[in-house]
Amino acid sequence: MRVIYGWALFLLAIGTLAAGGLIWPLAIGTCSVLAGNEYIAMTQAKGMKPSPRIIRGMIIAFFVMAALPKIPWLNVAPEFPLEHFPILLTVGVCISFFRLLFRHEDPPATIADIATTVLGFIYVGWMPSHLVLLRNLVPPGMSDPSDPLRQPGLAYVWVSLFIIFATDVFAYYAGKRFGKRLLYPQVSPKKTVEGAIGGFVASIFWATLVVYLADHWVFPNHPFQNKLWQAPLMGAFVSVGAQLGDLCESLLKRDAGVKDSGNLIPGHGGFLDRGDGLIFAGAISYYWICLVVLGIL
C-alpha cells in the first residue's frame, strides 16, 4: 500500500508540474491547505488555539497571488506576486491580531494563539508558494513558450526536486548502511551524520548532472544560461535547506507529541511529512535562481 500511494503521489506531482499554468498552483495549494490542517491539529494538541480560518484563508491567498500572472484575462506582470507579497503578509499579521483580539472566549486569545496563527500561514503558505513563483520564472528578455514542456520554469522546479529527492533518498540509504553517529537525537532519533553527508554529496552530483542535461539536451532555451559552475553550489544550498526543513518539521511533531503530522497518505503519514523538505528548499531554489543564475533581484 505504501508503494502504491508513493507512486501515485509521484505521478500526480510530475503531471501537475508538467502541465504548469493554473494546474500547478492549484495542486500545490491544495496540498498546502491540507498540510495547514495538520499544522493546526498539532498546535491544538499543545493546547494552543490559532485561528484556522485565517491560516487557511492566508494560505489560499498566497497561492492565488502567486498564480495571478497565469490568468490570461488579468494581464498581470510576472513580477507582481513577489512585489505584493509584503502587503499580503502585512494584512495577514494585522488580521491575526485583530481577529484574535475580538474572539469571544474566556480567557481571551494568548500570545501563543497569535504567534501560531502567523507562523502557520508563513510556514505552510508563504514559503511553499515560492514553488509557484519558481515554475512561472522566465529569464529577462525571454518570452515564456506556450508549450509548458519547454518553459524554463519547468527546468528550475525539475532541478530543485531532483536535489530534494536525491538528498532524501541517499540520506536514507547512506544512514542505513553507514550510519553510526546520531545527527540531532533530541529532535529526530533516527537521522545520522553519515546519512546527512550522503544526501549532501548526492545532491551536489545530481544538481550538476541535471543542470547540464537541462541546458544542453532537454531545454533548447538554456534556462540556466550555461552557468554549470553554479550547479554544485545550488545542490549544496538546497540540500541543506531540505535537511533543515525535515528537522524543523520533526521539531514541531516532537513538541506536539505526535509521530506523524497526519494520516491522509496511507503509509506515508501526512502532507507535512511528505513535503517538509520542499518548504524551505523550494524558497531557497527560487532566490538562488533569481540571484545567482538570472541576476534579477
For 297, half-sphere exposure in the C-beta direction (CA atoms, 13 angstrom radius) is 12
What is the rounded distance in angstroms from the CA atom of residue 183 to the CA atom of residue 57?
36
pLDDT digits (tens, 9 = 90+) for 30-67: 999 999 999 999 999 999 999 999 999 999 999 999 99
Q: Does residue 6 have a pLDDT over 80? A: no
Q: What is the pTM of this model?
A: 0.94
Per the CB < 8 A criterion, the answer to whether 4 and 265 are in contact is no
pLDDT at position 108 is 80
Q: Does residue 3 have a pLDDT over 70? A: no
pLDDT at position 5 is 66
pLDDT digits (tens, 9 = 90+) for 141-176: 888 888 999 999 999 999 999 999 999 999 999 999
Beta carbons within 8 Å of 91's beta carbon, 6+ residues apart: none
Q: In angstroms, what is the C-alpha Rg of the chain? A: 20
pLDDT at position 262 is 83
Average of per-residue pLDDT values in the chain: 93
And the C-alpha cell for 290? 533569481
What is the rounded distance in angstroms from the CA atom of residue 158 to the CA atom of residue 231?
13
pLDDT digits (tens, 9 = 90+) for 73-115: 888 998 999 999 999 999 999 999 998 888 877 778 899 999 9
Q: Average the pLDDT over each of 3-7, 25-29, 141-145, 206-210 and give the range with the smallest value.
A: 3-7
1: helix, strand or coil: coil
Q: Does residue 1 have a pLDDT over 70? A: no
| Pairing label, strands 188-192, 182-184 | antiparallel
Number of domains present in the structure of the chain: 1
pLDDT digits (tens, 9 = 90+) for 112-143: 999 999 999 999 999 999 999 999 999 998 88
Instruction: State phi, psi for 10 to the nearest 5 degrees.
Output: -65, -50
Q: Does residue 289 have a pLDDT over 80? A: yes
What is the rounded distance in angstroms from the CA atom of residue 216 to the CA atom of residue 155?
12
pLDDT at position 101 is 87
What is the rounded distance in angstroms from the CA atom of residue 246 to the CA atom of residue 278?
9
What is the rounded distance in angstroms from the CA atom of residue 99 to the CA atom of residue 57?
13
pLDDT bin (cut points 50, 70, 90) of residue 260 is confident
Q: What is the DSSP letter of 147?
A: S
100 vs 205, residue with greater confidence: 205
What is the rounded distance in angstroms from the CA atom of residue 93 to the CA atom of residue 88?
9
Whole domain around residue 98: which residue ranges? 2-294
Q: Concatenated DSSP letters for 237-295?
A: HHHHHHHHHHHHHHHHHHHHT-SSS-SSBTTTB-HHHHHHHHHHHHHHHHHHIIIIII-
Secondary structure element (H or E) that encloses residue 162, with its range: helix 152-178
Size of the chain, expressed as the number of residues it contains: 297
Secondary structure element (H or E) that encloses residue 207, with its range: helix 193-213
Q: Does residue 2 have a pLDDT over 90? A: no
Q: Does residue 208 have a pLDDT over 90? A: yes
pLDDT at position 62 is 98
pLDDT at position 9 is 78
Q: Average the pLDDT over each of 13-27, 68-82, 217-231, 261-275 and give the range with the smallest value.
A: 261-275
